[in-house]
Amino acid sequence: MKTGAKILVESLQREGVDILFGYPGGVVLPIYDELYDSSLKHLLVRHEQAAAHAADGYARASGKVGACLATSGPGACNLVTGIATAYMDSIPIVAITGQVPTNLLGNDAFQESDITGITMPVTKHNYLIKDARDVARTVKEAFYIAGTGRPGPVLIDVPKDVSTGVVEKVEYPETVSLRGYNPTYKGHKRQIEKALQLIAAAERPVIYAGGGVIASNGSAELVSLAGMLSIPVTTTLMGIGCIPGDHPLNLGMLGMHGTEYANFAITESDLLIAIGVRFDDRVTGNASKFAPNAKIIHIDIDPAEIGKNKRVDVPIVGDVRLVLKDMLALFKKTGAKDAWMKRVKHWKQHHPLKYRKDGCLHPQFILQQMNELLKGDAVIVSEVGQNQMWTAQWFTFRHPRTWITSGGLGTMGYGFPAAIGAHFARPDLPVFDVAGDGSIQMNIQEMGTVAANKIPVKIAIMNNMYLGMVRQWQELFYDRRYSFTELPPVEFVKIANAYGIDGMKVESCEDVMPALKAALDCDGPFVMDFRIEREENVFPMVPAGAAINEMIGGHTPS
Amino acid sequence: MKQHTLAVLVENKAGVLSRVTNLFSRRGFNIESLAVGTCEEPGMSRITIVVIGDDEKVEQVTKQLNKLIDIIKVSDLMENERVERELALIKVAADPGTSRAEIMQIAEIFRAQIVDVGAKTMVLQVVGDTDKIDALEKLLRQYGIKELVRTGRIGILRGSKTAGTGK
């Protein structure tokens, strides 16, 4: 005989949850009472949004399903941004919310919100449990749905009387059977053969790899295939880490703030091999001018992504890793595309990313110093805006799942709580959150969480006293009319100190490395307040709606 | 822009209709008609949706529908030979006298049934495709339509093909 709350906690453990990020409240009291003496670890955050982001960061860094818990009403609503963030980036999390008792549903009871209704468009699926006997099966299904196929968030709403409801004989299902859910994993052999024919015939092929490569754990296969075929690889923001940053075939990120050589290569290519990507507008710019002369092979697990934004020639629906494995098995050695590789190398050499080296404190320099210190052996999380783009451009990632960022939704305030989650996934690695002074203030209350639990997350704030990315657009497209983008100076180290966290304010280049080393040596959290060049921009930049080879701060291909 | 009739086989669960209609509304589609009912499989319902949209947009929404966990199968009936029907109940002003006789004649031509007669009104029940019901409505307007209720279109494929799972 067990209560719904007990079954819930046991079900989570059966699903392999080793940490639950959460915040208590009225209707989840029965669940929290179970957690009081459970072996399931719970981390108390300071705002529910952070619980969702932490579960998301945990999922991205570990490849497992993350889990979070909040009470009904405001608690559940505060999870929504975190759930939407996970949804846009296809990240598997299970969010559990308390709900008012079933007899009060729809009566505008205290702290009632229709969270299944609210989250319908931002979850892969959601449940409102109405009977304690359904708890075990629902949790099993939720984890299965979240973590398989194209991953995504699943929400389970648990009314209070379901938590307190007693089940006489509890059965934990071992398997899941859902008639309406059968993802395709294996790519169609004929399509794969057609793709290989196109590859053999191509003269200027490029691989465009995204988050799907990371999600399917297909990075090693991708690097093998690119190497065997000598095809240059450009990655999306979400795909960073699927090929080492210093790999000779890596062209870095493409798109709005991509490298010139990646964007030139895409524009001139005659074959685009799109792997685990969705042709997002920040990648393609003007979609009709994106890879205008290329045939397109598109590998993705989600059939709805095929042809959504761009017509493709050879679609392959399936799990990226499995499809790449099949391609490797079927592939026959073709001649290297020497002329094309020469051209790409020339671009890479003559159009590198660059910044002004004038002795002032530039964020790019800080990231180079981080590279030197960490050598890719760290989890780097970012907030959203300039800090995110500089990190994507300048930090050399060497492993998948070491770069954690809100790509699709672009959620400011994501980084710090996601870094907390990442730490629990990878306690063996240092975790850095590269932040802006705007973003960090969107979830700065989590200093309380890291201080109380000695979570060694290092926060590197690129402090320019602006909402930098918006300011950059105002500078370039709104005649420098800085409407509500200037922020007053904040002494972040003092805030950190108030929470009992150490920190350093850095105003010159020579102090960067000592601060980074102090952060790394410190066994708890650490805050670095880097006072960077205030009006530094992210370049190159493709203006909205332009073709990706029409970049500001770049030049025409030589 | 073309009309599409989508037959959507779903698990009969709370919220499934919202999940389906959400996918249309977020893409700015206006649903022309919607009919929901139980079907040949126990525990399942069939939702018939008529929308007007570009082929690519309808294809995208169809793919998104297929991703929903509670949805078993989506078929665009327009791709095949089919029978489509709607039922309408029309309450029309019918004073005893000439108009009543004329309305009864019109009903006969359209094979509509008179299912209620009041002192000043009659209720006609008509079954047919959309054009037929539109034509009848147009003819009855001159007498004064007090109320008109349509079920929304339902459709079924001709021959042995089905929009079900074939089980």
Give the closest of B18, B60, B68 to A180, CB-based.
B68
| Closest residue by Cα to residue A500 from A462, A449, A460 | A449
A175 inside domain: no
Check A10, A15, A34, A48 and give the catalytic one.
A48
A375 with A485, same domain: the answer is: yes
Largest CA distance in chain A: 75
Residue B167 has pLDDT above 60, yes or no: no
User: B2-79 belongs to which CATH class?
Assistant: alpha beta
Residue A537 has pLDDT above 90, yes or no: yes
A392 with A508, same domain: the answer is: yes
A183 inside domain: no
Check A41, A110, A189, A228 and give the catalytic one.
A110
A367 with A320, same domain: the answer is: no
A334 with A461, same domain: the answer is: no
What is the count of residue pairs from A and B with beta carbons less than 8 Å apart? Answer: 37
Check A256, A389, A447, A469 and give the catalytic one.
A469
User: Which residues of chain A approach chain B closer than 8 Å at the C-beta?
Assistant: 116-117, 120-121, 124-125, 128, 145, 178-181, 302-304, 307-308
Closest-CA distance, B63 to chain A, in angstroms, reads 5
Q: Which residues of A touch B56 (CB under 8 A)?
A: 307
- Tell me the per-residue pLDDT of A188-247, one tens digit each, with 9 for 90 and over: 999 999 999 999 999 999 999 999 999 999 999 999 999 999 999 999 999 999 999 999
Superfamily, domain B83-154: ACT-like. Chain A, domain 2 (3.30.70.1150)
A252 with A127, same domain: the answer is: no
Over residues A89-94, mean pLDDT: 98
Known catalytic membership, residue A256: no
A223 with A160, same domain: the answer is: no
Burial bucket for residue A376 (CB in 10 Å: 0-12, 13-18, 19+): middle
Q: What is the CATH number of the domain that holds A195?
A: 3.40.50.1220
Known catalytic membership, residue A253: no
Q: What is the CATH number of the domain that holds A411?
A: 3.40.50.970
Which residue in chain B is spatially nearest to A306 when comparing CA positions?
B60
Which residue in chain A is spatially nearest to B59 when comparing CA positions?
A304
Over residues A452-470, mean pLDDT: 98
Residue A281 region by backbone torsions, left for phi larger than 0, else alpha for psi between -120 and 50, else beta: alpha
Are residues A455 and A432 in contact, defined by beta-carbon separation less than 8 angstroms?
no
A298 with A204, same domain: the answer is: yes
Q: What percent of chain A has pLDDT over 70?
A: 98
A178 inside domain: no
pLDDT at site B98: 80
The length of chain A, given as a count of residues: 558
Closest-CA distance, A124 to chain B, in angstroms, reads 8
* Per-residue confidence band for A557, with pLDDT thresholds at 50, 70 and 90: low
Distance of CA A38 to the CA centre of its chain: 30
| 3-state SS class at B36 | strand
Over residues A381-402, mean pLDDT: 98
A327 inside domain: yes
Q: Do B69 and A307 touch (CB under 8 A)?
A: no
Q: Which residues of B touch A122 (CB under 8 A)?
A: none
Are residues A14 and A141 in contact, defined by beta-carbon separation less than 8 angstroms?
no
H or E element in which residue B156 lies? strand B154-157
A92 inside domain: yes
Q: Do A178 and B66 touch (CB under 8 A)?
A: no
In sign, the C-alpha dihedral spanning A92, A386, A378, A235 is positive
A121 with A225, same domain: the answer is: no
Per the structure, the complete domain to which residue A324 belongs is given by 189-350
Residue A332 has pLDDT above 80, yes or no: no
A174 inside domain: no
Question: What ranges do the domains of chain B cover?
Answer: 2-79, 83-154
Interface test mutation site (partner A, options B16, B20, B58, B69, max chain A beta carbons within 10 A): B69
Which residue in chain B is spatially nearest to A181 when comparing CA positions?
B69
- CB contact B13 to A (< 8 Å): no
- CB contact B69 to A (< 8 Å): yes
- Tell me the per-residue pLDDT of B92-126, one tens digit each, with 9 for 90 and over: 999 888 899 999 999 999 999 999 999 999 999 99
- Note the pTM of the prediction, 2 decimals: 0.96
Pairing type for strands A271-275 and A205-209 reads parallel
Known catalytic membership, residue A389: no
Mean pLDDT of chain A: 96
Q: Do A304 and B72 touch (CB under 8 A)?
A: no
Give the closest of B56, B63, B70 to A303, CB-based.
B63
A401 with A483, same domain: the answer is: yes
Q: Which residues of B touch A302 (CB under 8 A)?
A: 67
Check A160, A325, A337, A458 and give the catalytic one.
A160
pLDDT at site A361: 97
What total number of domains does chain A contain? Answer: 3
Interface test mutation site (partner A, options B44, B45, B67, B73, max chain A beta carbons within 10 A): B67
Decide whether B2-79 matches B83-154 in CATH topology: yes
A369 with A507, same domain: the answer is: yes
A161 with A205, same domain: the answer is: no
A286 with A372, same domain: the answer is: no
Q: What percent of chain A has pLDDT over 90?
A: 96
* Per-residue confidence band for A553, with pLDDT thresholds at 50, 70 and 90: confident
The Cα–Cα gap between A71 and A47 comes to: 11
Are residues A15 and A379 in contact, defined by beta-carbon separation less than 8 angstroms?
no
* Full 3-state SS string of A241-303: CCCCCCCCCEEEECCCCCCHHHHHHHHHCCEEEEECCCCCHHHHCCHHHCCCCCEEEEEECCH
Residue B1 has pLDDT above 90, yes or no: no
How many helices and strands, by DSSP H and E, does chain A display? 22, 20
A215 inside domain: yes
